[in-house]
Amino acid sequence: MLADGTALPITDPSQAGEVDSCQSHLALRSITPPVVRKWYSKARRSSGGRTSIAQSYRFLRAVMNAAVRDEAIVKNPCQIPAAGADKASECPIATPDQVGQLINAITPRYRAAVAVAA
C-alpha cells in the first residue's frame, strides 16, 4: 500500500496479461510470498508464454525491490529461484557433413569464412 493508503497500480502495458491477473488490485503489503507463488503457479499452468511470464515476474520483483528500498515493505516477496530467468531452447549444431555441404553450396569467396566460423 502506498503512503496515501491506495493500492499499488501495476500498469506496464507489456505485463498486463500476467501481472494484472493477480497483483494489480492488491495492496502492496498484502503481496506476500504465498501470493506470488500462487500467481506464478497459475501463470505457468496457463496458456501464456514462458518468456512473458518470466518478464512479468522480473517486473513484479523490480517493483517490490523499489518498495523495499523505499521502506514500504521489509522484504521482497518474490523469492522463487530462477522464476525470472529465460530458458532459451538449444539451437542445433551443424555436423561436419552439413558444414561441408554448405561450403560447397555457397559463393566461393565466402567459403573460407564459413570454414573458419564452423
- Looking at residue 24, the DSSP 8-state letter turns out to be T
- CATH code of the domain containing 22: 1.10.150.130
All cell numbers assigned to 49:
508464454
The model's pTM is: 0.57
Tell me the HSE value of 20 on the side-chain side, using a 13 A CA sphere: 7
**Alpha carbon distance 29, 14 (integer Å):** 24
Which grid coordinates are listed for 78?
518474490
Residue scoring higher pLDDT (2 or 34): 34
Instruction: Looking at the structure, tell me whether residues 81 and 114 fall in a common domain.
Output: no
Query: pLDDT per residue over 5-62, tens digit each?
Result: 434 444 444 444 444 444 456 788 889 999 999 999 998 888 878 888 899 999 999 9
In the chain, the number of structural domains is: 2
Q: Are residues 35 and 82 in the same domain?
A: yes
Domain with 103, as residue range(s), is 89-118
Write down the pLDDT at residue 25: 64
pLDDT at 20: 46
57, 42 contact by CB (below 8 A): no
C-alpha cell at 52: 512473458
